Amino acid sequence: MFIAAYAPPPVAPCVIALVIAAASTDLQCRRIPNMLVASGLVGALFVQCWLSGIPAGATAWLTGAAVGFGLFMPFYLLRGMAAGDVKLLAMIGAWIGPLLVFYAALATCLIGGVWVLTLTARRRQLTKVLTNLFVLAHPAFRGGGIQGRGAQPASIESVGSVPYGVAIAAGTVVVLLTAAV
């Protein structure tokens, strides 16, 4: 077992049900409902306080949610991810804690990265994706440096959206099942 933490018995089934619901709505509507995330956060707070007592449970809830939120926030700020995905990982963190949410985010990025590359290759848009990554990774092309101060950044063409809630669900389930072994 490579994960040094585990989710207590009532946590894993609840989280799996929530991420499946989120992935389903993301596939159908291309959004993750705020009501699902909010109810998941409230449920996580109750369960964390029930398992560990109020002070320790509230601290575990807040720490996990903050780590989950912080892990995907940079991707949102770079416009590479929707806000619902960030909130979903925060909710997952509130349930499973900072260490497991880190592993879930890592697994999500691996699964989601392979999925996105496969989709863009099938759509014959891999060159656009690589160009977009280059523009994002090199500040000189965003204004300043090579183009000079105040210059317009190189344009980034969208290659379409991906319901990333599916990758978040898959990464979370993989981590929860691995942690249970």
Question: For the segment 94-116, what is each residue's pLDDT rounded down to a tens digit?
Answer: 999 999 999 999 999 999 989 88
Residues 131 and 49 in one domain: no
User: Do the domain assignments include residue 149?
Assistant: yes
Per-residue pLDDT of 10-27, as tens digits, reads: 899 999 999 999 999 999
User: Do the domain assignments include residue 2?
Assistant: no
Residues 22 and 71 in one domain: yes
Range of the domain at 26: 11-121+163-180
User: Do the domain assignments include residue 107?
Assistant: yes
Residues 17 and 98 in one domain: yes
Per-residue pLDDT of 121-178, as tens digits, reads: 888 888 877 777 777 777 655 554 444 444 445 566 666 678 999 999 999 999 999 9
Residues 176 and 117 in one domain: yes
Residues 138 and 78 in one domain: no
Residues 90 and 174 in one domain: yes
Per-residue pLDDT of 38-82, as tens digits, reads: 999 999 999 999 999 999 999 999 999 999 999 999 989 988 899
User: Do the domain assignments include residue 5?
Assistant: no
Residues 26 and 80 in one domain: yes
The confidence score (pLDDT) of residue 1 equals: 37
Residues 50 and 63 in one domain: yes
Residues 114 and 139 in one domain: no
Query: Given a cut of 90, is residue 30 above it in pLDDT?
Result: yes
Please state, in angstroms and rounded to a whole number, the distance separating the CA atoms of residues 71 and 65: 10
Provide the number of structural domains found in the chain: 2
User: Do the domain assignments include residue 40?
Assistant: yes
